[in-house]
Structure 1
């Protein structure tokens, strides 16, 4: 490989620079850089599992001759059409978080470092391969390995039926490889794929392919099914747990790092992390892997000393890849909580008051009548707007926005920086605000004093909580909050006053208080919050301590939440080192003592509240580590 940049560029050793060989001068040739291996840098990019087998209308995993793709070429080969591929084995077994942790962290990785992870996976596979001498499987490889300058459309892979020698090839570098030969009858997912071409490609690679590119077919017996399942575990590791930068990072507890990535995987699966942020994470990981592969291919093409232009291009590609890598590390280090990693999202500047000092009342309605303004005083300055966004854009500190019945998309609510009041006119169920799924926030405030009154907020697809108080004070009065992600989040140093409101449907807690925040909740109803599939259900109200948040609860009804009515989240070692401190409000003496001590230490006032039908009880402790915002 040619040198065109300093050492950091050349930890990308997982690609082969192979001699090219032509099978057809017209349309077929073997690429100079073969991509047969299930390389770590080319591993699948989805964070949500997708079947390796293309799906069809009938649910079948095999190909019919009529549906099989045809290669479009200028000069046809004299070859018989390939037969239909048989179905590969697909396990219907599902694995829990604890089972995955036991398998990967305890059994496979153990005390291994990241540098030894490949060896650990290979040893795990070799153990199972020893039970069989041979098997029949579908060899799946990238279309670029076999087909160049062909119209292949969106073909995800080229599949060929092969006989596999289960004894791993000796003297081959990782990834683990096995010997194969084309099986009879000749079968492929491409009806007119020439057998001679397949033979030429396999010959170029000494008839060996990466074991993870081999998919045993079904109906071969229990031993082969077990091998297929072991291979799926190995693919899962490279697809969802391994990161290309692992070997470059110093990590004393690699198994612990893998455990946290397993937790991330299940947080995405069970909805603890909402769809928009998991999709953003998946796309970023996919883009990173694409940039890494692009850099490696570019380096491979350079022969001899790099020209100045090549060196600059190499650095550019490396920089783009490094920026994406840093973002992914940042997200994973913050553990992608239910609302995603919290950092300040509002960059809009505060306007302050008008230079004239006048206060304006903004009316949001398609048509304004004199009846709408009969209750305003004679000296009220009124400005009418067709949309909520236009009204908010015209606001200065001290203004009031009056919204008449209707349904509104509330993009501008994601950046409230001035002290304003927004209130619905008439019944609150008739003034409905919908979030914009393309934005991170629904309602986010950093003003000194913002008030929302007599409104219904419906969250659709935003990543953060339905209401986020970044700083200052926000008051919610007589509002209905229908959540899809986390509920109301009050960040460190911010303050919330909520009264006569209803919160429901949050996947996380209905109200989440960060360390050092302040909240007063009066006469609210908080119910049916916290996703039942989440590993740590946070219930109706979740308090993170150190430093303690301040919470005053009066006359609230907190019911039917998954978890406790009020959850107090404490660090692992706050009261008792190396012990699981998930405690209930009732139980043995030690449990009661811990809870009483926590309540005494908190600035917590709870009076005349009704807590009932919460799955874990009324008030409890949950021991967990978290990152402060």
Structure 2
């Protein structure tokens, strides 16, 4: 046995500021934005070991999608060469998860790599290598903005942006800014990255057209490009306001002002009773009257009711416990608004005719994010579209009744409902289709499903170790892998077991009754050894005091055991207890993540809105996150 461990660096604002100043402007020259990458190339070439070190590659979301493998996936690699000018490395894949197919070698951005403590060549300075990559990752994840590349050559990027953006980062980390302001900043950053990617794609398409025989510029794409540049400039201007310390201080002083003061006073005058919000997109007079009448079936006659033609507006002005009633049509939202703490979202007709979907650039990685005592969703369709997750349940109870969780552009990385540790899901007569994994139930979480349908998904249900499931009269059909995947500590070897419901007879925490399994390509139920791995949580998860520059934590990942087999070696991983900072708020925002602070053993999903642990900038617009791997690892082999 040997331990696989990676390095985690705890640094204060002043330490980060000193480091980045030395890296980017130690010669005292003006450093424009166009020179920043070259400065990093110089620094990495000076510090990084160029070849021969082992590490873990956390494969980005879009790369997982290209390879058609589950996200997140972590593989063991050996670095064969570092391209300092590109800030990337050619790696040899030495062990992969499950039965997946990857190339033997792959070019990987340095910030996706995590050097391990144990190295075959003990002469390597792996600590400096790990610290250098940590610096690079922090800079491009949190300090570099998509509009920086267009900045004037006469402007000193370091003098103009470094300290102000670092202070913004730490202000959000400490919770000095209100939730609404933090959400706005994250939304702007995510939208900016999304727009930059779209600009690059359009410019490439236009360039290809110009190289053609006709050389005709598409007016429509040119107009789109112009609008995107305008919007990016607007975002830049707004972000400059938030980056300004004086403006930020003013926002902190006035953060109690939410813009809904009149609404708040009105509710207080009524004793803050629960209210209803009726969302109607329009219809004939008769249809409108009938819709209003139908609410009498479930609303007391004295309920104070407001009407709106915008679901997001209703969610934002609602209060905890309110009921939001929505009529037929397609309703675009950017989040659950105030219902995230509890309440009801109820459709007036069949779920197929009431679609709740994300706005193009304004939604977080999950469409609905709940952390309240109890939430009820009834008669609605949740359409993920381009999002990675439909519903995230952080704590409390979420009930789904007569709902549909769907996605048209099927992808292995798309998740329907994620139930985090301690949370519960109760779903009745709910339909899941087109998803990568329909329901993910984490350790100490519970899902109770009845009369639910899982069809044409990659995987029906993923159960982490010590999670609970009760499923009755459910249907699992046409899964491209397994209907139910369960990780367990009870297997005596590293071999997975594939079978039917009978292989769960010793799992007291799982109850399967009268369920139908049909045409699931890899099998109905699979049991896999309990295998866990954790990458370090993004630094913004914790409040940290000042420490020495080289102070670091070695984060235990797992114990590895190589087992010789006919097909080669299998790398089995067993969880090693991790230590966390002594004082962690259990319900606090994290800068650039808007996530509740969770213990590292809790969950892979520490995200809420933009630039979260599930978005990984800059490669796929995502940041590094932590993940409990729930599957075996096998030797890498060519696709």
TM-score in terms of structure 1 length: 0.46
Q: Which structure's relative contact order is higher, taking Cα pairs within 8 Å and 6+ residues apart? A: 2
Tell me the TM-score normalised to structure 2 length. 0.45
More strand by share: 2
